[in-house]
Amino acid sequence: MKTAIVIAAVLAAACCGNVLKAENVTVNTPGTSLVLGADKGKKLKHLYYGTRLTDADVRGLKAAGAANVNAYPDYGVDPEREAAIAAVHADGNMTLDLVVDGVSSSKSGDASVTTVKLRDSHYPFFVNVNYRTYPGLDIIETWTDISHSENRPVTLTRFASGYLPVRYGNVWLSNLYGSWGNEARLDCQPIAHGMKVIKNRDGVRNSATAHSEVMLSLDGRPRENGGRVIGAALCYDGNYRLAVDTDAGNWHHLIAGIDEDQSEYHLKPGETFTTPVLALSYSGEGLGGVSRNFHRWGRERRMAHGDQLRDVLLNSWEGVYFDIKEPEMDQMMADIAAMGGELFVMDDGWFGVKYPRDNATQGLGDWIVDTRKLPGGIKGLTEAARRHGVKFGIWIEPEMVNTRSELFEKHPEYVIKAQHRQPTYGRGKTQMVLDMANPAVQDLVFTVVDTLLTNYPDISYIKWDANMPIRNHGSQYLSADDQSHLYIDYHRGFHKTLDRIRAKYPDVIMQACASGGGRANYGFLPWFDEFWTSDNTDALQRVYIQWGTSYFYPAIAMASHISAAPNHQTHRTMNLKYRTDVAMSGRLGMEIQPQKMTEAERSQCHKAIEDYKLIRPVVQQGDLYRLLSPYDGLGAASLMYVSPDKDRAAFFWWKTEAFRNKQYPRVPMAGLDPEKTYRVQELNRVDKVPLKFEGRSYSGRYLMENGLEMPVNLTVDNPDEWSSRVLMLTAE
């Protein structure tokens, strides 16, 4: 069924020239419906969100017990509930009374947008509540536009992107928490009475701790491939707040938006405040169904170049850290080319003249090549990359500055810092955040990127890092009255700068990185192609980190690199096969000094990269089925990707616990066509003898109802406790 928006009664009334008198508004996607009660002059009511309804269902909704609660609750007249919007009018009145003024629908490309116009019953204060859908996708994006024509600014104290009531019951909340090196850990519990708040106030790195996405499982304990689930992702790059409030009534109330704490906004007459998008999805196919909906939408509509396969790269960071030198860079390019990789990325350490970037204490802001380290400059490197037949990428951290830099010496007024306070430093005890609210800083950041890409058009990839939170809340640019705009205006300035970059350089691939996985949010992805998932490259811990991240983000967005053993973050030694088998389940790369690997290890990686290329389209563009969760403590984890036509699949299995004589479950597959027959082939094979089922064929039905028995150990000369498997399935 095609995506459609049905505004019952509205269109008929409008075409007859009658006064608009809206009734039900139904926003449909192929498999879901959102129904609102939009009677003119009355409160906008949320009636329903869930599986797609028939016309008869819609007509009978109220009788069946629809939600019938305010769809964008306002603070004031009826103030005991959590509000989605609150404002102080120019005359000091703290209440809002928003009622429906009209409904319209429009097209934006092939997307359909329904807008319910609300206005205050007394004040010239207006809110447009928008819903956008796309053909073939079970995602509804909602956001609001807030404006007024009062005679002085109105102070917005709450401005959520959206509100969603969920029927009280055995509803479970799944969300992601974490910290540096341990991002995207899964938390999951039944929703209790009271309020659960998920928030981030870092200012810069908004997924370094919590994530701004939640899953709500409506049928009790979350299941991967069954049960009704609602997913909600706040698509924002700054501070956020998602609250699930459960009172004594029949509804859990989900409210999501920018975190308003210390961010009250003074809205001028005639100005429009647009909230970030809250993306909603519903599926009857469990958590996995919602994930697949988000992944498809992410690739097709929300991230840069979501339809293009990503290159296999080598990043220099864990290989050489700050010790950038031309011969080493050249060698690394030769090495990644020899292993079949396609891109080399030079990380931190390449810049700074007066203050060379030899460590984290200096240089940020001075994006001039350090010719002591790189006598041939960037040009020398891009030429070398050409010679080696790989593309070239470069690391920058343009929103930041060290006080030990020429930039800071010239422009101390560019940093974020409260007046009358001592500066607060970040990394290297000299790092500070530039004030992106300041247009001069926006120009500066644009110019950093523009200069690099203009001077060196061979740069095809940028790793854009950001390693410090906003501290010492104060803008040297904003007026005294508007200091509370800092967090919001920082991100507006960031967007403007990225818009300029993307307008001029639409094709460059950009990675969002922020002290590891601090920028894994759909708020970044319109401009960025991927994110660095975590600085923790330990393969075992990555199984957990990538599992959580996959709740909302497709594999193509998740940079996942093979690194050294022992691992630099956890000091754990994992065999190379396990490390490659984990990295291959995301956007494969390497983060290692190839010169410290043996010839045999390099050739194993070469084989892994060649094998990855066989499954790259399935991993990066296919549908994800999570099969066995590492969080279930059953000793192993497993997932698979299936191509949309179900002709190819890639199956991953990793041991997560290693105990002598431990029992491991056998894992039934998912997502295949039961009627098709699949040939099974192991990738990254290191065993001396092939798996018993190597080269054999099985029906999709058998594989999904029984699965294949994974030997729990590798048959190699010096086995360690860790084993893993990657299988490629090809329909015959």
Site residues, ligand DGJ (CB under 6 A)? 317, 347-348, 395, 465, 467, 513, 515-516, 532, 535
What's the CA gap between 559 and 557, in Å, rounded? Answer: 6
The 3-state secondary structure of 443-490, one letter per residue? HHHHHHHHHHHHHCCCEEEEEECCCCCCCCCCCCCCCCCCHHHHHHHH
State which residue, 161 or 567, has the beta carbon closest to ligand DGJ: 567
- The distance of closest approach from Cβ of residue 349 to ligand DGJ in the complex, given in angstroms and rounded to an integer, is 8
Q: Which CB, 181 or 635, lies closer to ligand DGJ?
A: 181
Give me the least distance between CB of 630 and ligand DGJ, in Å please: 23
We find the least distance from the C-beta atom of residue 361 to ligand DGJ, in angstroms, to be 12
Nearer to ligand DGJ, 134 or 408 (CB): 408
Record the tokens describing residue 291, joined without a space: 């994930």
Q: How far is the CB of 525 from ligand DGJ (least distance, A)?
A: 17
Q: Residue 552: which residues within 8 A CB-CB, separation 6 or more?
A: 211, 213, 231, 233, 291, 294, 298, 522
Distance (Å, rounded) from C-alpha 74 to C-alpha 78?
A: 8
* Shortest CB 369 distance to ligand DGJ, Å: 17
Shortest distance in whole angstroms from residue 514 CB to ligand DGJ: 7
Q: Closer to ligand DGJ at the Cβ: 515 or 575?
A: 515
Smallest separation (angstroms) from ligand DGJ to the CB of 398: 13
Radius of gyration in angstroms for the set of CA atoms belonging to the chain, rounded to a whole number: 27
CA 319 to chain centre: 27
Q: Measured from the CB of residue 347, what is the shortest distance to ligand DGJ in angstroms?
A: 5
Smallest gap from residue 348 Cβ to ligand DGJ (A)? 3
**C-beta of 227 vs 426, nearer to ligand DGJ:** 426
* SS3 category, 526: coil
Indicate the residue among 3 and 315 with the shorter CB distance to ligand DGJ: 315
**Beta carbon nearer to ligand DGJ, 362 or 515:** 515
C-beta of 322 vs 664, nearer to ligand DGJ: 322
Burial class (CB in 10 A: 0-12, 13-18, 19+), 480: exposed
Identity of the residue, 237 or 535, whose beta carbon is nearer to ligand DGJ in the bound complex: 535
User: Which SS3 state, helix, strand or coil, does residue 241 take?
Assistant: strand
Beta strands in 604-675 (DSSP E): 623-628, 636-642, 648-655
Proportion of the chain in helix, strand, coil states, percent, rounded to 5: 25, 30, 45
| Beta carbon nearer to ligand DGJ, 89 or 357 | 357
Cα 86 to Cα 94, 97, 142, 527, 726, distances in angstroms: 8, 10, 18, 31, 52
Question: CA–CA separation, 187 vs 174, rounded Å?
Answer: 6
Supply the minimum distance, in Å, between the C-beta of residue 352 and ligand DGJ: 13
Sequence-distant (6+) residues with CB within 8 A of 15 are none
Nearer to ligand DGJ, 535 or 538 (CB): 535
b/e sequence 648-658, b meaning 16+ C-beta within 10 Å: bbbbbbbbbee
For 205, the token pair is 């790195």
Question: Cα–Cα distance between 701 and 719 in angstroms, integer?
Answer: 34
- Looking at the Cβ atoms of 202 and 347, the one nearer to ligand DGJ is 347
DSSP bridge pairs for 459: 392
The CA–CA distances, whole Å, from 163 to 81, 124, 147, 353 equal 12, 23, 19, 51
In the complex, residue closest to ligand DGJ by CB: 348
Nearest distance, CB of residue 63 and ligand DGJ, angstroms: 55
Q: How far is the CB of 463 from ligand DGJ (least distance, A)?
A: 6
Q: At closest approach, how far in Å is the CB of 308 from ligand DGJ?
A: 23
Angle, vertex CA 134, rays to CA 130 and CA 135, nearest 5: 145
Q: What DSSP designation does 413 have?
A: G
Report residue 665 as tokens. 């479950």
Contact 618, 590 (CB under 8 A): no
Q: What number of residues does the chain have?
A: 732
Q: Least distance to ligand DGJ from the beta carbon of 356, Å?
A: 14
Give the nearest distance from C-beta 360 to ligand DGJ in angstroms: 7
User: Cβ closer to ligand DGJ: 363 or 493?
Assistant: 363
CB contact burial 348-367 (16+ within 10 A = b; e otherwise) = bbbbbeebbbbebbbbbbbb
Exposed/middle/buried for residue 270 (C-beta within 10 Å: 0-12, 13-18, 19+): exposed
CB of 542 to ligand DGJ, least distance (A): 14
What is the nearest approach in angstroms of ligand DGJ to the Cβ of residue 467? 5
User: Of the two residues 184 and 290, which places its CB atom closer to ligand DGJ in the complex?
Assistant: 184
Question: Judged by CB, which is closer to ligand DGJ: 348, or 682?
Answer: 348
Q: Token match 């009280």: residue?
A: 168
Cα separations in angstroms, 585 against 280, 310, 526, 539, 711: 26, 13, 23, 11, 20
Q: Which tokens hold the place of 373?
A: 């380290």
Q: Could you tell me which of 637, 631, 646, 701 has the C-alpha nearest to residue 669? A: 701
Q: Phi and psi (nearest 5°) for 82?
A: -60, 135
CB nearer to ligand DGJ: pick between 432 and 669: 432
State which residue, 74 or 465, has the beta carbon closest to ligand DGJ.
465
Q: β-pairing, 530-532 with 509-512?
A: parallel
